[in-house]
Amino acid sequence: MAHRFLSSTNRSSTRFAFIFTVSLSCTYLCYTILFCRGTVMSNQAYEGRRCSPSKNAGGKKLLGKLENCASPGVRSVVEEPAARRGPSEVSEPSGAPGGPAGGQWADVKFRNMSVAQRYGDKKLPNALIVGVKKGGTRAVLEFIRIHPDVRALGTEPHFFDRNYDRGLDWYRGLMPRTLDSQITLEKTPSYFVTREAPRRISSMSRETKLIVVVRNPVTRAISDYTQTLSKKPDIPAFDQLAFKNRSLGVVDASWNAIRIGMYALHLDNWLQHFRLSQMHFVSGERLITDPAGEMGRVQDFLGLKRIITDKHFYFNRTKGFPCLKKPESSGQPRCLGKSKGRTHVQIEREVIEQLQEFYRPFNVKFFETVGQDFKWD
């Protein structure tokens, strides 16, 4: 009797142990499937946003930038080949605050990205940062793209200047996927000084919103020259290139570094095809001293809710520029790359004054046309 009782107890325990093990395995299996799927999806969304445009890009320059897509953390140095990046750009600058503001926007952004990645379409851009070279265009792009309703191409497609023959379908193919509620954005600073660009852009859509980041043309020219010098150390001195005759003060307006800064001339060309209200001018100087203020106006112009605020920025003393606070989801630095914020070559005071003099009438005309004084005197 006792034996029968014991063996029936044994059977029940065995059955219980079996059921328990099976249900435990099932629970574990379900968790594993769900967890892994979530991780893979969010990674794909992140990588896809950063890399897919480059995969489609046929241009040599775009291919050259592919390696910048490789690591999710280096979005802010997307323009620089890895070899040129210094240690300061791949390690978190000391004292850089992260904070909840960063975490919140990152979460919203990643949720939207993941949804857009699955359900969105590639669309032609409805907004462009068209210039100016060395004005602060990369900063505006990197700052605005943290907005959940903006998706931007990280590379410069140069469609309306160099690649126009490839056609609109090629151009659309470069774009990130967006939901209908999201803005598609790209930046190519050379558009501003490309004669055909305004006509070509307006034939894509007359409603395209245009952002122009402008900066004191003298400082811009020096910045431009500093960049060229870093690539070609053998070029003539700045003043040799800037003047046809220095003692007579005759500036060489055919030199690109000078020509780009004659904003009023280029703007005239844009106004043949676009209303002034479709253009927004960002002050490259205020972008450094008050990034949140400038980005607030950019958001208004794009019809976006003001989500990017003071909370997103901190001043990085090592870099000497404002940087983005790091989101909780990333431990990577959020300053722009080394090619942004270079130490300029020293230019004689007199040369600077001569150039200020040269640009004055162009600046005055530019301020009158846009109805804003950028205070470059």
Query: Which residues belong to the active site?
Result: 134
Q: Are the C-beta atoms of 286 and 293 separated by less than 8 Å?
A: yes
Nearer to ligand PPS, 120 or 337 (CB): 337
Pairing of strands 279-283, 209-214: parallel
In sign, the C-alpha dihedral spanning 68, 132, 258, 372 is negative
Using the rule CB under 6 A, which residue among 157, 261, 322, 327 binds ligand PPS?
A: 322
Q: Is 136 annotated as a binding residue?
A: yes
Nearer to ligand PPS, 133 or 177 (CB): 133
223 labelled binding-site residue = yes
Which H, E and C letters describe 238-280, residue by residue?
HHHHHEEECCCCEECCCCHHHHCCCHHHHHHHHHCCCCHHHEE
- C-alpha to C-alpha distance for 214 and 266, rounded to whole angstroms: 12
* Residue 258 in tokens: 């000078």
Stretch that binds ligand PPS, among 70-78, 133-141, 174-182, 250-258 (CB under 6 A): 133-141
**Out of 134, 151, 158, 280, which residue is the one contacting ligand PPS (CB under 6 A)?**
134
The response to whether 343 counts as a known ligand-binding position is: yes
Instruction: Tell me the CA distances in angstroms from 350 to 15, 74, 354, 357, 362, one per residue in order.
Output: 95, 40, 6, 11, 20
**Is 14 flagged in the annotation as binding?**
no
273 in Cβ contact with 194 (< 8 Å): no
Q: Which region among 25-33, 107-115, 204-212, 340-348 touches ligand PPS (by CB under 6 A)? A: 340-348
Q: CB pairs under 8 A, 24+ apart, for 284-289?
A: 284/135, 284/136, 284/213, 284/214, 284/215, 284/216, 284/220, 285/215, 285/216, 285/374, 285/375, 287/136, 287/139, 287/140, 287/213, 288/136, 288/321, 288/322
Residue 128 β-bridge partners: 186, 210
CA distance 303 to 25: 51
Quick note: the x/- pattern for ligand PPS over 217-246, rule CB under 6 A, is ------x-----------------------
Exactly one of 77, 96, 116, 139 binds ligand PPS (CB under 6 A); which one?
A: 139
- Say whether residue 340 binds ligand PPS (CB under 6 A): yes
User: What is the size of the binding site for ligand PPS (CB under 6 A)?
Assistant: 17
Instruction: Give whichever of 113 and 324 is closer to ligand PPS, judged by the CB atom.
Output: 324
For the four alpha carbons of 113, 114, 115 and 120, in that order, the dihedral sign comes to: positive
189 binds ligand PPS (CB under 6 A): yes
The smaller minimum CB distance to ligand PPS, of residues 74 and 287, is found at: 287
266 is an interface residue for ligand PPS by CB under 6 A: no
Residue 134 annotated as part of some ligand binding site: yes
195 assigned binding-site residue: no
Q: How many CB atoms lie within 10 A of CB 22?
A: 10
- Say how many C-beta atoms besides its own lie within 10 A of residue 308's C-beta: 24
Our finding on whether 211 is near ligand PPS (CB under 6 A) is: no
Whether residue 177 is annotated as binding a ligand: the answer is: no
333 interacts with ligand PPS by CB under 6 A = no
Q: Is 192 among the residues that bind ligand PPS (CB under 6 A)?
A: no
The residue (of 193 and 336) whose beta carbon lies closer to ligand PPS is 336
Residue 280 binds ligand PPS, judged by CB under 6 A: no
314 in contact with ligand PPS (CB under 6 A): no
Using CB under 6 A as the binding rule, whether residue 135 contacts ligand PPS is answered as yes
Distance between CA atoms of 315 and 221, rounded to whole angstroms? Answer: 25
User: Does residue 336 interact with ligand PPS by CB under 6 A?
Assistant: yes
Q: Which residues are annotated as a binding site?
A: 134-138, 215, 223, 340-344
Binding site for ligand PPS (CB under 6 A): 133-139, 189, 223, 287-288, 321-322, 336, 340-342
Q: Which residues are annotated as a binding site for 3'-phosphoadenylyl sulfate?
A: 134-138, 215, 223, 340-344
